[in-house]
Structure 1
Amino acid sequence: MTDHHVLTAENHRDLRVRTDRDAALGDAVMSCVTTPDEFRRVQSHYPILFRRNVERDEFVALALFGFEDGENLFLEDGRWDADYVPLAIDIQPFLIGAPAAGGTAKQVHVDMASPRIAAPDGEGVRVFDDHGRPTPYLETIAEQLGALDAGWQGSADFFAALRRHELLEPLTLEITLDDGSTNRLVGFHVIDEERLRGLDGDALGELHRDGHLMPLFMAMASLGNLSALIARRNRRMAHG
């Protein structure tokens, strides 16, 4: 259940948000959405995979945290064990909404049903100060929301280019863990490196001109993080 409201100083003067990391706060997720604008930062820690929405016949990019639903191998003892937390995770419980009637600027919304909402006098970071002004925390959130929204809006051209040049191929990954058990990662796509290498100069020039070539390379480089993710799973299993 969600309970979305437009964020205002009038209605949310005393709002506090939990910024620590825990499964109980909604961090126990296998993946989150990311965009090409974010690939450079994401690829430092996480595999970037692509998943097709069959109903809408479109692709989204995902930062991978685990190998099954509800598994986040970066959650350790109340902290996120990586230097960078993807925007789609870091902005919670906020989201960006449509402009007000007659306006053009998009509005910040908050999910009041989120477990990150703290008691007014409890733990958590304040969103507005005593004078109703945005705190530095909220200013950072607004910047992150803007970046994520811009990345999302701009990703349509990226995915159109991937389709035009047939640069996505299905991934089926079979993982054998230290205890002998086997996991299969299915339903995802990755960049088809052989197809990319086979593109002619005109096609590569087009991808570079439109700003798509660097995100492609970042997505391919990110797959090197799969072995580190498997190692995290093995360590977690070894420690129970």
Structure 2
Amino acid sequence: MTSSSSHALLDNASHRDLAVVTTAGAQWGDGVMGCLVVPSEFRAVAAHYPIVFRRDGQTGRFAALALFGFEQGENLFLAGDRWDAAYVPMAHAVQPFLIGRTRDADEVPQVHIDLAHARVGAPGGQRLFDDAGAPTPYLAAKAEQLGALDAGWRATPAFLAALEHHGLLEPFTLDVPLAEGSARSLVGYHIIAEDRLAALDGAALGELNAQGHLLPIYMAVAALGRFADLMARRGRA
């Protein structure tokens, strides 16, 4: 992520020749510990990353995150100029593009771009529009991804509310061994409380299933197995 931003509505007049770097690298904003994820992508996320939940200290609301490392600035999936996983969570993959909204909730969301992002305008980038001003396949794919992410954001509050309603989140601490023999504690996160999930009666499980929440809950549980993979990556780093 960049320290500053300059968001603009993307259009083929102002941004006809604009290009965006598509390779991975810390210099392009990929040196991050994790990113927000939405329940609709939990199955894909769980194949590669641990999923945890964090409560905002100001609002008290939870958010779901995929972890790429154990400390700020650490991304254990960076391998030179590529990302060493078949799936990159949408909130990170769409950068430097953003969802733009007007005050009219019924209007179709617009594609915005952060012109201050390191990926924008750097040499060797992917063009957003062709010579005729039509979106390139790259931009079309990003716009589709933004649409999926937008739908995911809209569905997330109901999912998180259901977790809290059924008491399915519990604090989580993990000791991460360091090379010199000491350990670092990963704190401040929550995970799905498996014992409480197992204790839910048929009515509660049926309700969660009918609301579309049960599958992402089980995917979040399964994703905890990825902590072993993440620690193995740490050991090889």
Q: Residue 75 in 1 paired to residue 75 in 2?
A: no
Name the counterpart of 1:4. 7
Report how far residue 177 of structure 1 moved: 3.4
CA distance in 2, matches of 1:55, 1:11: 38
Q: Map Cα deviations across residues 4-44 of structure 1 (whole Å, 9 max, x no partner).
A: 00001111000100000000100000000000001000000
Q: Map Cα deviations across residues 88-113 of structure 1 (whole Å, 9 max, x no partner).
A: 11111000011387971111100000
Q: For residues 100 and 11 of structure 1, do their structure 2 counterparts lie closer, same or farther at Cα, with a shift above 3 Å needed?
A: farther
Aligned-residue CA RMSD (Å): 1.3
Check whether the contact 1:94–1:110 (CA below 8 A) recurs between aligned residues: yes
Name the counterpart of 2:219. 218
Name the counterpart of 1:141. 142
Name the counterpart of 2:40. 37
CA distance in 1, matches of 2:42, 2:30: 20
State the percentage of identical aligned residues: 55
Check whether the contact 1:100–1:106 (CA below 8 A) recurs between aligned residues: no
Q: TM-score w.r.t. structure 1 length?
A: 0.95
Unaligned runs of 5+ in 1: none
Name the counterpart of 1:20. 23
Q: List, as ranges, runs of 4+ consecutive aligned residues in structure 1 with deviation greater than 3 Å.
A: 99-103
CA distance in 2, matches of 1:55, 1:72: 27
- 1:27 corresponds to which letter in structure 2? D
Match of 1:92 among 91, 95, 109: 95
Q: TM-score w.r.t. structure 2 length?
A: 0.96
* Equivalences for residues 83-232 of structure 1 within 5 A: 83-99=86-102, 104-119=107-122, 122-232=123-233
Unaligned runs of 5+ in 2: none
Aligned residues: 234
- 1:153 corresponds to which letter in structure 2? R
Report how far residue 178 of structure 1 moved: 4.7
